[in-house]
């Protein structure tokens, strides 16, 4: 059972209400108050709420108003939920909201959610990692009003030539293009952009290259809620020469399967 006077930060997932976790759904079902981020979270995610649950939309609220609402409800209710897009720990202002709750003596908990980066890869049927291609995924953003720490500019990160999932940057796509070029990426390097990944009836998938992705997104009027994925793995579904995972090789032993000795000898 949920604790008295506890605020849960629940990841609603990328958009499709069915992508919320079972734990998140169950908490919604017994919540006394829910504050959802209406600019990013579908109201359908509150459909499991019980009758009488107080439900409010935070899209017009400041941070102080959000925290004030959570504290007020927690002082009156048993279970309060802050329903956030994707995962609360990723670009979710989690700590900024938790600190005042700590000061007010209100217990908090976090339920992780499916990130839009993962939903975007799924929408495009892409793998963010491939054997001998890249084993590293960087989740980042282009510098805008929020400054990037030293050493974390997109150009510097892009020099690793691994998978880059770029959040909150679709309006800065020209700068993303330039950062990739300055880091040595080819103009022909494939780029995947997904708008509203998993949102029923609203998802858009745009494929292009470093050179033309901006023009393609402009033509589709993509200017918000989009993930940019730059990766050497994009398009691997069509490759004829694909390095296979050693995990499933018949000649590879692990604790659940012994290698085929005949293959090893061969």
Q: Is the entire prediction scored with pTM above 0.75? A: yes
Reference 84, options 120, 119, 118, 34; nearest CA is 34
| Domain chopping of the chain, boundaries | 6-111, 116-238
Q: What is the pLDDT of residues 41-68, one digit of tens each?
A: 877 778 899 999 999 999 999 999 999 9
User: 226 — phi, psi (to 5°)?
Assistant: -135, 145
Q: What is the pLDDT of residues 142-164, one digit of tens each?
A: 998 889 999 999 999 999 999 99
Q: pLDDT at residue 263 above 60?
A: no
Name every residue whose Cβ is closer than 8 Å to that of residue 189 and which is 6 or more positions away in sequence: 180, 209, 210, 230, 232
Q: Which architecture does CATH list for 116-238? A: 2-Layer Sandwich (3.30)
What is the rounded CA–CA span in Å between residue 228 and residue 210?
A: 11
Predicted local confidence at residue 91, as pLDDT: 94
Query: Do residues 204 and 195 touch, judged by C-beta distance below 8 A?
Result: yes
Predicted local confidence at residue 190, as pLDDT: 98
Which CATH fold topology does 6-111 show? Cobalt-precorrin-4 Transmethylase; domain 1 (3.40.1010)
What is the rounded CA–CA span in Å between residue 259 and residue 242?
A: 22
**Residues 171, 200, 90, 58, Cα dihedral to 10°:** 90
Query: Do residues 133 and 243 touch, judged by C-beta distance below 8 A?
Result: yes
């Amino acid at each position: 059972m949920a604790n008295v006077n506890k605020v849960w930060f629940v990841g609603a997932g990328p958009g499709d209400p069915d992508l919320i976790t079972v734990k998140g759904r169950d908490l919604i079902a017994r919540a006394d108050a829910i504050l959802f981020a209406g600019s990013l979270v579908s109201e359908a995610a509150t459909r499991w709420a019980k009758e009488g649950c107080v439900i409010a939309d935070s899209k017009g609220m400041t941070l102080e108003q959000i925290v004030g609402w959570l504290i007020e409800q927690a002082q009156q209710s048993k279970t309060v939920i802050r329903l956030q897009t994707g995962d609360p720990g990723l670009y979710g202002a989690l700590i900024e909201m938790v600190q005042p709750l700590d000061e007010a003596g209100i217990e908090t908990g976090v339920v992780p959610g499916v990130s839009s980066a993962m939903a975007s890869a799924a929408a495009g049927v892409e793998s963010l990692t491939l054997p001998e291609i890249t084993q590293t995924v960087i989740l980042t953003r282009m510098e805008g009003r929020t400054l990037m720490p030293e050493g974390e500019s997109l150009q510097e990160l892009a020099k690793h030539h691994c998978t880059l999932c770029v959040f909150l940057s679709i309006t800065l796509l020209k700068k993303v293009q330039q950062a990739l070029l300055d880091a040595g990426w080819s103009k022909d390097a494939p780029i995947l952009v997904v708008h509203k990944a998993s949102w029923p009836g609203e998802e858009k998938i745009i494929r292009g290259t470093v050179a033309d992705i901006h023009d393609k997104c402009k033509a589709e009027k993509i200017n918000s809620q989009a993930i940019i994925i730059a990766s050497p793995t994009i398009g691997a579904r069509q490759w004829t020469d694909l390095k296979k995972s050693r995990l499933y090789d018949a000649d590879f032993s692990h604790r659940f399967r012994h290698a085929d000795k005949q293959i090893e000898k061969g």
